[in-house]
Amino acid sequence: MICWKRRCNTQGKQTYVKPDLQSPEDPILCQGAELERLFDRGFYTEGPAEGPDGRIYFCDITPTFLSNMAAGNIWAYDPTDGSTTLFRSPSGMASGIHFDAAGRMVIAGGADFGCRAVIRTDLKTGRSHILAGLYRGRPFNSPNDLVIDRAGRIYFTDPRYFGHEPIEQPVFGVYRIDPDGSVHLLLADVSKPNGIELSPDEKTLYVAEHDIRILDRRLSDVPIRDMGDMRILAYDLEDGVACNQRTLVDYGAEKGADGIAVDSAGNIYAAVRSRQRPGIRIYSAQGDPLTDIPLPAAPSNVALCTRNNQTYLYITAANGLYRLATRVPAKS
C-alpha cells in the first residue's frame, strides 16, 4: 500500500508528499515536487483542460443512479487565486474538454440524460453550437474524450459505460469532425476507445482502450469477466486518416489507462486506474516506462499546462483536482 504524508501549507492548501516520488535525475518531475489537492467537491471529476483565460476547466460527471439525478457540472479552477467556481450545470454529462485555436470550448457530452454530442461554446458570447450529434442518422453512444489538430479537425471517442439510452451505433468508434462540419468514422478496431491524444508533430494518434464492462455484481454465483482489453494504441496519422495500429502498452488483466496527455517531447502521460497501483504512468513515444507517479485515488484524466516557464500536470481523480510540477513543457 502507498503511504502518503499529508500536510497543509500556510494557506490551508492540502498537499501530499512522498519522499521517494522523484530523484534528482528524474526526467519528468521537478525535484521536490509535491502533489497538491486543489479541489475536492466534485462527484467524479474528468477531462481537465487549460482555457484561453488561464483557468483549468474540468468536468464533473454525476451518474444519475448514484447522485440523486444530478445533471453534471463543469468547474473552473483559477491558478492565480486558488479558487474554483462552477462554470456550467447542467453539463450535458461532459467528460472531455478541449479548446480550439480560437479559444472556444469544445466538449464531449455523454449519455445518462446528457447530450451525446460534441458541442462548441464561444466563451465571449456564451453561445453554443452542436458540431456532431448524429452519425448516419443515429445518436452517438456517449462521446467521451477529444483532441483537436492544427488543421481544426476534431477527433473524439464514442464508447458507452453507463446511461439508460439505447445504444444505436453498431460500434464503439473513434470519429473525426472536419472543419466543413462533415463527420467520419475513423476507427472501429478498438473495443472501447476512451482517452485520445496526438503526438507533437501530429503524425501519430494515440487511443486508450479501456474496456471495463459494467455488470450486475449480484450475479456473483456465476463466473464473470468485468474487464476486456486494456491498452494504449498508436496509429500513423496523415491528413486525418489513421492506419497501422500497434500496441504501445498492454496492461493485461490490470485496469489500464483512462485519459492520456502528451508533452512537447512526445512522452505519454496515462491516468491508470489500476486497483493495485493507481496513478500516472509516463512512457516514451515508443511505450518505454519512464516514471510512475502513485496517487491517493484512481485518476481519470490528465492535462499539461505551461505558463511563465512553469509546467504543471493537472490530474482529475475521484472527486478532486490535483496538480504536480513537471519539467517538460506542454505541447504548443
User: What pLDDT is stored for residue 13 in this prediction?
Assistant: 58
Model confidence pTM above 0.85: yes
Spatial CA neighbour of 169 closest among 144, 196, 134: 134
Total count of residues recorded for the chain? 332
Q: Which residues, at least 6 apart from 305, have a Cβ–Cβ distance to it below 8 Å? A: 50, 56, 311, 312, 314, 330
Dihedral sign for Cα 102, 312, 291, 18, please. negative
The cell for 326 is: 513537471
User: What pLDDT is stored for residue 117 in this prediction?
Assistant: 98
DSSP sequence for 277-306: S-EEEEE-TTS-EEEEEE-SS-EEEEEEEE
User: What pLDDT is stored for residue 128 in this prediction?
Assistant: 98
68's torsion region: left (phi>0), alpha (psi -120 to 50) or beta? left
User: What pLDDT is stored for residue 10 in this prediction?
Assistant: 47
User: What pLDDT is stored for residue 19 in this prediction?
Assistant: 44
User: What pLDDT is stored for residue 31 in this prediction?
Assistant: 85
- 254 close to 274: Cβ distance less than 8 angstroms: yes
**Average pLDDT for consecutive 10-residue bins of the chain (332 residues)?**
46 54 73 93 98 98 96 98 98 98 98 98 97 98 98 98 96 98 98 98 98 65 79 98 98 96 98 95 97 95 96 98 96 90
Q: What is the DSSP letter of 225?
A: -
- 56 close to 305: Cβ distance less than 8 angstroms: yes
- 312 close to 75: Cβ distance less than 8 angstroms: no
